[in-house]
Chain A
Amino acid sequence: MGYLTIDSLTKKYGDLTAVKSINLKIKQGEMVALLGGSGCGKTTILRMIAGFIEPNAGTVSINGKVMNNIPAYKRNVGIFFQNYALFPHMTVIENVEFSLKLKKMKKAEIKEKVEYILGLVKLEGKGDSYPRQLSGGQQQRVALARALVMEPDVLLLDEPLSNLDSKLRQEMQVEIKRIQKKLKLTTIIVTHDQEEAVSLANRVVIMNEGEIEQIGEPGEVFNHPAHPFVAEFMGFSNFMEGKIVRKEGKEIQIEVAEGKVMNQSYDRADELAVGDAVVLTIRPEAVLISKTEEDGYAQGKIVNMTYKGHNTMVDILSSFNEKVQAINVDMVLPKEGESIYFAFPSDKVIIYKK
């Protein structure tokens, strides 16, 4: 029994099923990331937990108590909105103390709590400013403080870092993690950024079209995605479809096109059999490239190179007419149009049965 339990939760909008019978159990103090593209239902789940929308079926329970018929304002679920949703007519302090005043807390107690929380998000001295006078990062921390000060049973973060520049983003990632641990908050974070999900959460839930594709620890989902969809979401590319035509120990041969066969060694080759239709994938940064022919390398031609600052994306057309993407960090590369050799290391490829 989880602290926050979602049981066959379903939400339909007309013919469209936004959330399809989702089950999820979250332990107290755990931080779980809901990861998925836009329209995958992750925000809908968040809004059902907060109580803003009613599920068509299924239940949300917090600490063993079914929440379905309890209105949002009685749930004690803190939510951080993607656009912050700060009250523009209230100062930082008024925004933060909003929930405490409603609880009819004593003035001195409110003051103490607000000061503590503003210190925690490093906003001392900004209490009398209005949201419009603050920078995006500061507004975001006010929104976080406002959700934290009510000491919520569950904290929901909706794309908390999406509007920030990369430096502020990293700072806030550290901050959120630190505060979440310190206050031992049961937290759900919704994001479309796989790096954000794996760096913040204890567990990652990958969603697609209203369904859960995979649940696992960050390392697990990042390195061992369960389906090609999850793999693509986790940054895998070079998807190649084919059929296994020969297998000897770790060495397998995949026919990627009529008469075109690719040799590949694979650590988990025993899961596969000759005749299986498969999809092979590997991250571009795991592809080995070389200017000279080496053992186990295949030949190809550079068709395009994109310089990205700290690395270069190399698009290769292989001799069996497949497109291969590799990331090169510091090698001096041949020119576009010239030939190059590449290999997929046996421990870095994943082969899915279709």
Chain B
Amino acid sequence: MQAQEDVEPTVRIREVKKDRVNFVLGNVDLAFANSLRRVMMADIPTVAIDMVEIETNTTVLPDEFIAHRLGMIPLVSANCDEAIRYTRDCICLAGCSFCSMMLELKVACDDDNTMEVTSAHLEVVPFPEEEGSQDPGEELSKRGEWFGHPVGKNDPNVPPVLITKIRKGQELKIRCIAKKAAKEHAKFSPCSAISFEYDPYNKLRHTTWWYETNVEDEWPLSENAKEEEAPRDDEPFDFNAKPNKFYFEVETDGSLGPQEVVMKVRLRPACCS
């Protein structure tokens, strides 16, 4: 048990892409690795649509259906630690440009084809500033060009998110307020998936493989098995063994880059101890 104490953790990044990172974490506790996973999934704040004001909705979908779909659209949240405040920390009464983003969706169909309303129709609009608000915040200058815009709006290679389809004569007029939060709702998670694996050969017997006739055929080994030594057939079970190598693949929804997701982890759980 003590052997692990003085060993430093190791990290090896196997692959980085625009929306994902694959890495191997070593020399840490299973609980520690799992906490890392939990923090990346739930505790990293992003911006998402949180309030929806519907002026006109003559589509086939009810208001709350559309409101829910709007909330799930990932918005670019790069550097949102500095670029936007939490509404609860803001001095404003009911939302301002420092703690929220305003987006508008104004679509009407007047031709004979079915029209697709997508996240590309969402336009970021400036916040109507109330008179006399002399907020000295510098949040606005920290925002990137596309902060708060739906992910992929500036990239023709990214298909937009479909919200609804409308036909001739139908209209949608919506004003949305996007806020920064974490944990409150899954829509604030920057990750669309995190895969987490250890002990691909099941040497530790943390799981039991159910099988019909042959374990090897029915439970193909994962790619990560190449990283570890296969157990010999006559190897006795080592009940003192502990997992030591953890295989992660963090996939983001585009609101934050994978590097930002991983690097932001430390800031959060450390603040509580």
Question: A and B: partners?
Answer: no
